[in-house]
Amino acid sequence: MIQESLDSDDMNQQSSELVKNLPQHMKNQGQRDVTIVPSRGKPVTIKTTYYSKNKKRKRRKKTLNTGLYTGLFFLGIYDHLTPGLASEICLMATIVGSYKEASQVLHDRGVNIDAKKICEITRRYAQRVKLAKQNSSLLKTETLAGCRVVISTDGGRLRIRKNKRGPKTKKGRRRFSTKWREPKLLIIYMVNKNGEKDSSFLPFIEGTMKGPDAIFGLIKFYLSQLEIIKASKILFVADGARWIWNRVPELAKSLGIALEQFYSLIDFYHAVEHLVKIADLRKGWKKSERNAWVKKHRRQLLHGKIKEVIASICKVCRGRKSKKLRSEKNYFVRNQKRMQYDLISKMGLPIGSGAMESAIRRVVNLRLKGASMYWLEETAEAMLLLRSFYKSGRWDMLKNIIYSTSYVPVA
């Protein structure tokens, strides 16, 4: 069936049009044998046309043939794997704890593929998702019109491996550093009138290693696709990180969101943590006094008495030279307009970013963070994307984006 599809006149015409529209000239190298591995059964060998261009390296003077099997591209066959097997391999690598474990599970199912190859397939799969997502119309089938929308973003932690210059170890291994990096995640979901997550709408979760501007670019992309300006109420809730709140006003402005439908809020439980820090910095207080002070001001925050809370904090800090106390006071002064918890509660919107914290734990901590676990940045970026789609319940959407979207492949 694959061979018949590749030999059809329709396929030949589509292949010719694709090659003509490519930015660089591609030469027809004739028919070549290609072995394709299906999700079930033995590998099959077919013949298909191969197009390539010649590149020369300046230093080594070797010719590198880089090209494209146009027929296989139109059938969704990449890396010599059928779409079903490619998706199964990437899904397994996303679910389990390591590529080696994924290789063992697939071996038990009759698919013999090593961990290194799984990593490579997974990385390329994620790259195709990114390329196809820009032109996909699948997102436009969903809308947030008339809905109560909650948006949040935050960062996790993982280790990135980078090779060091200099001689190798005695065992011939390259030396490397493993610095901590903060991947950024976003979540967009709907809530009902009680402020509870609406199960009829699957949330959008995605992550990136490319920093604050990149994650806000993703937030803008999703919100514009989902017609956010038609939403009834929009809440942006997060912790007090400045990299977040310095970019929120520009995000709302660029999307054309009206002021009366947009609300900003500091996560209530992060605010309470800062109250606890202030109480702990008062060394002369007993434990019962600290607990009573935190409980009192926690209640005031819930009832919208932020000015009273700030006045009490200033009283605690008066005459103190502690930089930490001053920093905690500035936190509340800087974010007081984002601490209207009584107003947000009355509107039936959540006052915490628990959904974001849960997403970081499920996407990052349970797969990308662990003892002696180091990632190349490109591989971590790929896993963040795939893991986000899987944990948000949108794996089928991810497959549809790849296999139902027309985009020009990189030869």
Q: By C-alpha distance, which of 205, 157, 199, 201 is closest to 179? A: 157
Do the Cβ atoms of 336 and 346 come closer than 8 Å?
A: no
According to DSSP, the β-strands at 233-238 and 262-266 are parallel
242 domain residue, yes or no: yes
217 and 362 co-located in one domain: yes
Q: For 72-84, what is the mean pLDDT?
A: 89
Beta-carbon count within 10 A of 403 CB:
15
Which residue did the predictor score with more confidence, 1 or 405? 1
Fill in the amino acid letter for 63: T
Do the Cβ atoms of 368 and 377 come closer than 8 Å?
A: no
37 and 114 co-located in one domain: yes
Please give the Cα distance from 207 to 223 (Å, whole number): 15
18 and 114 co-located in one domain: yes
Indicate the pLDDT class of residue 331, thresholds 50, 70 and 90.
very high
Per residue in 160-187, pLDDT tens?
Answer: 999 888 888 888 888 889 999 999 999 9
Q: Rounded mean pLDDT of the chain?
A: 90
51 and 197 co-located in one domain: no
Lowest mean pLDDT segment, chosen from 18-22, 83-87, 316-320, 387-391: 316-320
403 domain residue, yes or no: no
34 and 74 co-located in one domain: yes
Please give the Cα distance from 302 to 324 (Å, whole number): 24
240 domain residue, yes or no: yes
Q: Which distant-in-sequence residues (6+ apart) come within 8 Å of 34 by Cβ?
A: 45, 46, 47, 48, 69, 72, 80
Which residue did the predictor score with more confidence, 61 or 392? 392
Indicate the pLDDT class of residue 54, thresholds 50, 70 and 90.
low
Do the Cβ atoms of 189 and 203 come closer than 8 Å?
A: yes
Q: For 10-36, what is the mean pLDDT?
A: 88
18 and 72 co-located in one domain: yes
359 and 225 co-located in one domain: yes
| Dihedral sign (CA 391, 394, 399, 401) | negative
40 and 187 co-located in one domain: no
Which residue did the predictor score with more confidence, 59 or 330? 330
Do the Cβ atoms of 69 and 48 come closer than 8 Å?
A: yes
Do the Cβ atoms of 174 and 163 come closer than 8 Å?
A: yes
195: region left, alpha or beta (phi > 0 left; psi from -120 to 50 alpha): left
263 domain residue, yes or no: no
Per residue in 99-152, pLDDT tens?
Answer: 999 999 999 988 889 999 999 999 999 999 998 887 777 777 899 999 999 999
Q: Which two tokens stand for residue 137?
A: 């119309």
- pLDDT of res. 47: 93
116 and 241 co-located in one domain: no
Lowest mean pLDDT segment, chosen from 178-192, 227-241, 279-293: 279-293
Per residue in 369-390, pLDDT tens?
Answer: 988 899 999 999 999 999 999 9
100 domain residue, yes or no: yes
Q: What percent of the chain has pLDDT over 70?
A: 95
Please give the Cα distance from 182 to 164 (Å, whole number): 21
What DSSP line would sit under 16-68, residue for residue?
Answer: HHHHHHSSS--EEEEEEEEEEB-SSS--EEEEEEEEEEEEE-TTT--EEEEEE
241 and 368 co-located in one domain: yes
348 domain residue, yes or no: no
406 domain residue, yes or no: no
Residue 60 scores a pLDDT above 60: no
310 and 193 co-located in one domain: no
Residue 365 scores a pLDDT above 90: yes
According to DSSP, the β-strands at 148-155 and 176-181 are unpaired
Range of the domain at 47: 2-135
Strands of 239-393, DSSP E: 262-266
405 domain residue, yes or no: no
Domain count, the chain: 3
Q: What percent of the chain has pLDDT over 90?
A: 67
45 and 183 co-located in one domain: no
Residue 375 DSSP SS3: strand
